[in-house]
Amino acid sequence: MRLVLDNLPLLIKGLLLTVRLTLIACFFGLVLGVILATLRVSPIRPLRLFATAYTNFMVNIPIAVWIALFYFGFPKIDIAFRSNDLGWDNFRSGLVAIAVWVSAYFAEAIRSGINAVPNGQAEAARAIGLPFTKVLGSVILPQAIRGSILPLGVILNATYRNSAAVSFIGVADIVNVTLERGDTLVAYAQFTLAAFAGYLILSVVTNAGFLALDKRFAVKR
Amino acid sequence: MTSSVERSFSDRLLSVPRPKAGELVLTEELGPGGKRIVMVVSLLSLLIVAYSIYWMYGRLGEPTRLYPKGQYEPSLWAPFKQGTTWKFLWQGAKLTLAAAGVGTVFAMIIGVLMASLRHGGQTRKRSYALALLAGSIALVIAAGVLTSARIAALVAVACLIIGLVFFSRQSAAAYTEFFRACALVTLIASPFRFLQVSPFWSVVLGLTLYYSTTIAEVIRSALRSLPKGQTEAGLAVGLTNKQTMTTVLLPQGLKRALPNILTQTASLLKDTSLGFVVTFRDLLTQSQGAAKQFDNYFPMLLVCAALYITLIGFINFTATRLQRRSR
């Protein structure tokens, strides 16, 4: 217990890194996901096919492989995610990999949110003469996103845990820090429990937050 | 709409997806103006996709300091002509598949048990269940502090079994909710760190603990979706609770849950790649090692991704087929 308390600043730093990584990735992932979901319901066939292919491609390859590809593979063709001139930054590679990966999941969640909006809404919007962009942008999507707050929360929660895969490229997130400290100080139990507790805090806070958001924003039907 | 043979290319390009049941209709039948817009945007997007493929093709071939032909340098792809490379990758794939297979079997067994106990098991007074829970947590912590982690794990298993016998519903619920809230990485790392089991069994144990809960939830929701008359009819013809569960409810519930179980299996297979935290030499780690040796990270990781997508795509394909058939 004392060992954990002594290393508390380090652990909190790791936890905050996980949080930062996940939140930034999920922000960009959500933006990309909304675009992808729009493409998937659009009347333009090539765009629909593209979005479907993208989703299947992302979802069927493990996140660890994506992270490895973004960190080890892409710099070889000079697509590197640099934060400065010193070299490629593993945090950024992991961030981009997680963002493009999670966007597929967000797209799926929003698409099922779109399908959960009652048909009458779309019919009414079309009846008053709105074009497709307006039907989707100002009638359906707002309701769809407000209706899929809880699934989005589930994805955010899953991303907190899956982001642990960035340990593979040596980002000092909570898992990496606890494993490394546990190895150095030969105190596996304490540090594994610390990682456990860290994730538990994250998931409890996220769940509570999204339940509150859902209560506040979800369309009551 | 006529058969697809008679439809021209532009017709097919324009076709608005016929809404399936439960899907929204977002556009009217297109008029001439709308058709023109859709046509133009379609062609434009096709052009953009074609150009990006062309750009990527050129980008891959761009000469770098080491490789005058970029990623098309034959030396980068030469390892794939050797049997030993594939053998090396196969060793990893074998472990990935084995861990996923064994994990799925265990997770299924525990998942079915937990789902049926949580759905149809007996409940007792809540205060007794909470007392048992608190007692077993205290016992496990005491065993962990006083003796070794292995004994603590044994005590935990024993407490769980006692709980499942006497408070089946509450114990199954506690197990499911607890392990569902855990991060999979820590579950995989724990057996390796605490019980000193081999990386393989550590991965299997972690996956089993986590995926037994998700599979249990999938099965439980399938059981709940069965009409209530099924249980009542089973009990009415004189079957016991247990017989109703095993002969009436579970066969129907499992059939309904099968596509979702397969989705979980695909996800389990993907998550074997988290085994790197316990130095599990799975497909990803092996390709990483091979890439390091041949210094061909990009081709090697592409091949690795392709192998994963084949394995998981196969499972997903089966799931969709089953889903379609069961409807």
- Residue in A63, A119, A195 closest to B186 by CB: A195
Whole-number pLDDT of residue B135:
87
H/E stretch holding A53 reads: helix A45-59
Residues 278-307 of B with CB under 8 A from A: 284, 288, 291, 297-298, 301-302, 304-305
CB contact under 8 A, B26 and A41: yes
Please tell me what DSSP assigns to residue A76.
G
Give the nearest chain A residue to B62 (CA atoms): A77
State the average pLDDT over residues B220-225: 91
Residue type, B85: T
Instruction: Pick B22's closest partner by Cβ from A77, A115, A135.
Output: A115
Q: How far apart are CA B194 and CA B192, in angstroms?
A: 6
A-interface mutation test, from B274, B303, B304, most A Cβ less than 10 A away: B274
More confident residue, B254 or A45: B254
CA distance A216 to chain B (A): 25
Residue with tokens 């299947």, as numbered in its chain: A56
Query: Is A192 within 8 Å of B189 when comparing Cβ atoms?
Result: yes
Candidate from B24, B271, B305 with C-beta closest to A117: B24
Q: Which of residues 110-139 of A touch B (CB under 8 A)?
A: 114-115, 117, 119, 122-123, 126, 132, 135-136
| CA A202 to each of CA A100, A156, A162, B108: distance values in angstroms, whole numbers, following the listed order | 22, 10, 13, 28
Is the predicted pLDDT of residue B29 greater than 50, yes or no?
Answer: yes
User: Chain A within 8 Å of B277 (Cβ-Cβ)?
Assistant: yes
Residue of A nearest to B71 (CA): A77
The whole-number pLDDT of residue B1 equals: 39
Average pLDDT over residues B273-278: 89
Distance from CA of A53 to the nearest CA of B (A): 12
Task: Give me the pLDDT at residue B205, please.
Answer: 94
Q: How far apart are CA B238 and CA B110, in angstroms?
A: 28
Give B24's pLDDT tier (boundaries 50, 70, 90): low
Q: Are the CB atoms for B179 and A198 separated by under 8 Å?
A: no
In this structure, are residues A107 and A40 in contact, taking their beta carbons and an 8 Å threshold? yes
The model's pLDDT over B120-146, given as tens digits with 9 standing for 90+, comes to 777 777 788 888 888 888 888 888 778
Q: Would you state the pLDDT for residue A200?
A: 87
Contact A69, B307 (CB under 8 A): no
Nearest to A4 by CA among A159, A165, A164, A192: A192
Residue A61 DSSP symbol: S
Q: Which residue of A has its CA nearest to B271?
A: A62
Q: Is A80 helix (H, G, I), strand (E, B) or coil?
A: coil
Give the pLDDT of residue A5: 82
DSSP string across A7-28: THHHHHHHHHHHHHHHHHHHHH
When CB atoms are compared, the residue of A44, A73, A132 closest to B301 is A73
d(CA B72, CA B51): 19
pLDDT mean across residues, chain B = 84
Contact A126 B270 (CB under 8 A): no
Band of the pLDDT at B269, cuts 50, 70, 90?
A: very high
pLDDT for A69 beyond 50: yes
**B167 closest CA partner among B221, B140, B131:** B131
For residues B162 and B128, what is the distance between their CA atoms, to the nearest angstrom? 13
| String of DSSP letters for A103-146 | HHHHHHHHHHHHHHS-HHHHHHHHHTT--HHHIIIIIIHHHHHH
pLDDT of residue A136: 87
Residue B217 confidence class, pLDDT cut points 50, 70, 90: very high
Share of chain A above pLDDT 70, in %: 95
For A165, which of B186, B274, B312 is closest by C-beta distance? Answer: B274
pLDDT at A205: 92
Residue range B49-62, pLDDT digits in tens: 899 999 888 888 87
B288–A72: do the CB atoms touch at under 8 Å? yes
Kindly list the residues from chain A whose CB atom is less than 8 angstroms away from the CB atom of residue B297. Answer: 72-73, 76
| Contact assignment for A161 to B277 by CB distance below 8 Å | no
Identify the residue whose tokens are 């070889």: A76
Q: Is the pLDDT of residue B95 over 70?
A: yes
Q: What is the pLDDT of residue B2?
A: 40
Q: Which residue has the tokens 């999920």?
A: A26
Residues of B with Cβ-Cβ distance to A60 under 8 angstroms: 266, 270, 308-309, 312-313, 316
- Distance between CA B178 and CA B172 in Å, rounded? 10
List, as one string, the DSSP characters of A170-220: T---HHHHHHHHHHHHT-HHHHHHHHHHHHHHHHHHHHHHHHHHHHHHSPP
B22 vs A106 pLDDT, higher one: A106
pLDDT above 50: residue B3: no
Amino acid at A114: I
Q: Is A79 helix (H, G, I), strand (E, B) or coil?
A: coil
Of A69, A114, A164, the CB nearest to B185: A164
Percent with pLDDT over 90 in chain B: 31
Q: At B95, give phi and psi (nearest 5°).
A: -65, -40
Q: What is the pLDDT of residue B4?
A: 43
The percent of residues above 90 in pLDDT, for chain A, comes to: 31
Band of pLDDT at residue B221, cut at 50, 70 and 90: very high
pLDDT at A77 (0 to 100): 75
| pLDDT, averaged across chain A | 87
Give dist(CA B65, CA A11) in Å, integer. 40
User: How many CB pairs (< 8 A) connect A and B?
Assistant: 163
Residue the block writes with tokens 């081709």: B299
**Interface mutation target, options A11, A58, A60, A74, chain B, most CBs of B under 10 Å:** A60
Confidence (pLDDT) at B126? 79
Q: Which of residues 78-97 of A touch B (CB under 8 A)?
A: 78-79
The secondary structure of chain B, three-state, reads CCCCCCCCHHHHHHCCCCCCCCCCCCCCCCCHHHHHHHHHHHHHHHHHHHHHHHHHHHHHHCCCCCCCCHHHCHHHHHHHHCHHHHHHHHHHHHHHHHHHHHHHHHHHHHHHHHHHHHHHCCCCCHHHHHHHHHHHHHHHHHHHHHCCHHHHHHHHHHHHHHHHHHCHHHHHHHHHHHHHHCCHHHHHHHHHHHCCCCHHHHHHHHHHHHHHHHHHHHHHHHHHHCCHHHHHHHHHCCCCHHHHHHHHHHHHHHHHHHHHHHHHHHHHHHHHHHHHHHCCCCHHHHHHHHHHHHCCHHHHHHHHHHHHHHHHHHHHHHHHHHHHHHC
| Encoded tokens for A48 | 């629909």
Query: What's the CA gap between B79 and B83, in Å, rounded?
Result: 8
